[in-house]
């Protein structure tokens, strides 16, 4: 049930060739995101629902890496997994959003730069 990504983790952005240079700093987080999407599509399914929170730990990891990058996002995800123990209360626990998030999200949950010319 909690296997899907929350709406805050998907968007309508798409990769634009003109912004290829701006994607380079986004490579690490998109690499981690592809690992997470792979995990969520396979291993997550086999385990079924085990998480005490919404969004689930893996969905939280996706959100954290999208918002805060590969490094900080991974640390936040690890902290979340540590919180997800049998004696935890559980409940709704969303990723704290980045104060000024300057990128777009694709429908699949990858991070792309905002297109330069919008008019």
Partner 1 sequence: MPDLIGIILWPLKWLVELVLVAWHALFTAIGLAPAEGITWVLAIVGLVLVVRSALIPLFVKQIKSQRKMMEIAPELRKVQAKYKGKKDQLSREAMSRETMGLYKKHGTSPVSGCLPLLVQMPVFFALFSVLNGVQTIKTDPDHTGVGLLSNELMTEFYNAKLFGVASLHDTLIGAWEAQAPGWQVTVGILLVLVVLMIVSQFFTQLQIISKNLSPEAKTGQAYQMQKIMLYVLPFAFVFSGVFFPLGVVIYWFTSNVWTMVQQFVVIRNLPTPGSEAAKLREERLARKGKALDATGKIIPMEKYQAEQQRLFEEAERARAATPKRQQPIGKQRAKKQAQKQPGDGGPKSGGSADPAAGAAS
Range in contact with partner 1 (rule: CB under 8 A) among 23-31, 42-50, 63-71, 96-104: 42-50
49 touching partner 1, by CB under 8 A: yes
Q: What are phi and psi of 99, to 5 degrees?
A: -65, -40
**By CB under 8 A, how many residues form the interface with partner 1?**
30
90 touching partner 1, by CB under 8 A: yes
Say how far apart CA 15 and CA 13 lie, in whole Å: 7
Range in contact with partner 1 (rule: CB under 8 A) among 13-21, 22-30, 68-76, 82-90: 82-90
Contact with partner 1 (CB under 8 A) among 41, 81, 97, 114: 81
What the block records as the tokens of 106 is 């694709």
79 touching partner 1, by CB under 8 A: no
Nearer residue to partner 1 within complex by CB, 17 or 47: 47
DSSP 58-108: HHHHHHHHHHHHHHHHHHHHHHHHHH-STT---EE-PPPPPTT--EEE-TT
Q: Pairing state of beta strands 103-105 and 111-113?
A: antiparallel
Interface residues toward partner 1, by CB under 8 A: 1-2, 4, 6-7, 10, 45-57, 81-82, 84-92
């Amino acid at each position: 049930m909690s296997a899907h990504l929350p709406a805050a983790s998907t968007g309508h952005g798409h990769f634009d060739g003109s912004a290829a240079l701006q994607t380079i700093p986004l490579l690490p987080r998109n690499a981690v995101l592809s690992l997470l999407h792979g995990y969520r599509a396979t291993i997550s399914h086999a385990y079924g629902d085990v998480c005490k929170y919404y969004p689930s730990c893996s969905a939280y990891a996706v959100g954290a890496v999208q918002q805060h990058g590969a490094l900080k996002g991974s640390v936040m995800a690890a902290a979340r997994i540590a919180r997800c123990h049998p004696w935890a209360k559980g409940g709704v626990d969303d990723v704290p959003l980045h104060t000024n998030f300057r990128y777009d999200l694709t429908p699949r949950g990858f991070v792309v730069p905002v297109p330069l010319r919008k008019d």
